[in-house]
Structure 1
Amino acid sequence: MKRGRLPLTALRSFEVAARHSSFTQAAAELFISQAAISRQVRDLEALIGCPLFERRHRAVVLTAAGQELRVTLTASFDSIGDCLDRLRSTDEQPPLIISCEPSFASCWLMPNLADFQRRYPGIDLDIDTDRRFYEFRGRDPAIAIRHSETQSRWPRVESRPLCTTRLTPVLSPALLRDGEALQRPEELLTYPLVHEERRDVWGQWFAAAGITAPAAAQRGLVYAEGGLTLQAALRGQGVVLSDDRLASDALARGELIRPFALSIPFGAYWLVARRFVTLPPSGESFLAWIEGHFR
């Protein structure tokens, strides 16, 4: 097909719908109606002469032809975007946007950012604590820091490990009865247990300690993320399972203590970007800095 006849608007709509496997999400990304997405995709299918999606109940699935076209278009649009970014005036360096897990942002990144600013005073950072998955296009962050218990890869992006996570009990020394150190792991069952996101992780720690935890171990406060559980521990609300990296400042100041050295594995933090080789110099500097802290 001659370049002058390429249906660029329809191709863009199809590519976004194909990435999301959703006409609704494509419409939201492009700020047009779902009906417009559907019409443009149908016009493109009529032009090509074959279906690009299988329409199912409340879902669309790419056909073989659709998958082939999506791969080509995504790579092409990404290449165009990268070229425009390189050609754009560099008189004023835009802020580097980092998307970060909320607990990691508040408990590790924020306390250490003074070091980054001292080393790279010319780089401005915007820290985004939204947990949504990003395609790293347009106004999306350049780099994301994500935690997962099991996942190490995400669709259409690159990832590399930052650090593993291990959980260990921490609590305020003011919570200890009579100020005496705990002697046996089962003594923790006499204290309030604070949970992050769900109530089954304490059972894993007790199992590693050789203890069958009673149902009471699944009771207590549940917070949505680790930064809040650490605040709960600091305020004496109970004992928290925390990554000692995130609790390191409070442990060093004596505001929290680790009653037992036993820890359990709990996934890892990952650095995620669309393509690491296309990051701007500011992004490369950030990666070198943060990876240097975890070597």
Structure 2
Amino acid sequence: MSDSFTFAVDEENIRLDQFLVKKLTDVSRSKIQLAIKSGQVLVDGEKLKSSAILKGAENVEGELLVEVQDDIIAEDIPLNILYEDDDLAIINKISGMVVHPGSGNYSGTLVNALVFHFQSLSGLNDSRPGIVHRLDKDTSGVIVIAKNDKSHQHLSRQFAERKVKKVYKAIAWGGVPEEGEIEGLIGRHPANRKVFKMVNNLGRKSLTTFMVEEHLSPLTFVTLHPKTGRTHQIRVHLKSIGHPILADEMYGGGKKMIKSFHVKYTQLLNRLFKNMNRVALHAEKLEVTHPTTGKKMRFQAPIPDDMVNALNLLRNAQ
């Protein structure tokens, strides 16, 4: 698994890697340098070298792998492989599948399936081979897998430099504005480190643009373009504007929302929850540059049946 961090630089004329070694006392310098090189560490939103000299007024943010076990068990779990070559694979992840092993999830993850299905995977993140980015457990859709270290570094740089284009679909509560932009800092909730929220300082920069596909009262079908890749970003952003995602208990979109709307919607919403028992969020499209050929590659995962059924239920009730 990984853990994120944000530090305000409190020293002058210190190398980036040396600063992080001081702050992250339980992490080796070599792993810190690898994280910096692979684009997992940003200084004021920019990728720098390990040798970069900090001036004492910057914000350093990033994430580091936290090893949870030495051996990954290969498991014959079916995968929907949208594309594969010698450098990468594109998977349409099902909802309910955790991406990589972590506390309480040592089997049944996407990584367990990848180790079974592919002979070669990148090893830069040794307890999550092949994993360049993540999708939440409940989120379905497109995820790219690196099959060697060169591809992993190339793809990681694309994500760090915000060159990867991502499109998500969500069903959100209420009447979402026709289009807009949500920007701000995201940080951990002080009372629960598994939950994130918009913060005023010491958070990570985040940006999502959105546009409405359909108003399906009392919900809205929305297309979202996350420009950054923060943990729970879309979920946090939609909550911050008062339109949490359907069935997202963690961020206020659970069954309690039914009471916020007119009683005429109660029967419809109860039926909706019987069909939609996970966060109604889908990673629909992904565009990356191929690490070897340099060509733009676009992939799309169709909206899964549970979301299609939920949308049809709403449409029929209009």
Q: What range describes the TM-score normalised by the shorter chain of this pair?
A: under 0.3
Structure with more contact order per residue of length (Cα contacts < 8 Å, sep ≥ 6): 1
What is the TM-score of this pair, normalised by structure 1? Answer: 0.27
Which structure: greater helix fraction? 1
